[in-house]
Amino acid sequence: MTARHVALLLGLSALLAGCTKDRERNKGGAPGYSPGLGASSPSQADAVAPISGGTLLITDDGEQAGWSQIEQKNPAYVELARKSLIEQGVGAENIEILEPQVTGTIYEARVLSEKAKSVNLKSVLIVTSAYHTRRALSTFQRVFAEKNQQTEFGITSPPTGEQTPPPFSWWLSAVGWQIVAGEYVKSAVYWVYY
């Protein structure tokens, strides 16, 4: 399981655990919302990518987890996320796996842009790894702006931990250099090509 997948699953769990408290406190505002990075706070998100209080949108990167003794196969991460959400009380009818499979943030943004247009989403809360938030938010905003879609974005991430390096000490480990420094390279590539 990659660090990004673990972070996404942890984020889903953390957001679901905080939904009730946040809803009471925010009077229906997006659960677990953390604007950061200059994003404005949607007062009521129509969808969260990958989850929200109403519609749970999950992109499918086609990757698979390790061998499951129970299922006797390598389950897809998207199915593990769906199963985890259902186990935590989210109705299966509120979870939608977006098609087609995607191979990067730019494609996730494009797929979500099409979905947002088809159902007229006005706000989206993006859930991703902490180190990925800047590029993700920038990419989603740019893709939606190119299509003249007026969608408000928020972005949040689960707490850093074992699978996601801490912000002030990532440079002390090889994994930190691979993940965080790699994200800086990807950000430069996205800035040039997209």
In the predicted model, what is the mean pLDDT of residues 52-60? 75
Flag whether pLDDT at 32 surpasses 70.
no
Contact status, residue 109 vs residue 140, Cβ threshold 8 Å: yes
List the domain boundaries for the chain.
3-164
- Claim: this prediction has a pTM higher than 0.85: no
Tokens of 136: 């993700």
Distance CA 23, CA 31 (A): 6
DSSP 16-29: HHHHHHHHHHHTSP
Of 69 and 54, the structure prediction assigns the larger pLDDT to: 69
Flag whether pLDDT at 107 surpasses 80.
yes
Tokens of 24: 């009471």
Residue 160: per-residue pLDDT: 83
Task: State pLDDT tens for residues 137-187.
Answer: 999 999 999 999 999 999 998 888 767 888 889 999 998 999 999 999 999
Length of the chain: 194
Task: State pLDDT tens for residues 110-126.
Answer: 999 999 999 999 999 99
Q: Could you tell me the pLDDT band of residue 44, with boundaries at 50, 70 and 90?
A: low
Residue 164: per-residue pLDDT: 83
**According to the CATH classification, is domain 3-164 in 2.40.50?**
no
- 60 phi and psi, to 5 degrees? -110, 110
Q: Using the Cα atoms of residue 160, residue 166, residue 172 and residue 175 in order, give the sign of their dihedral.
A: positive
Tokens of 31: 């659960």
Residue 159: per-residue pLDDT: 85
What residues contact 52, with CB distance under 8 A and at least 6 apart? 30, 31, 45, 46, 124, 125
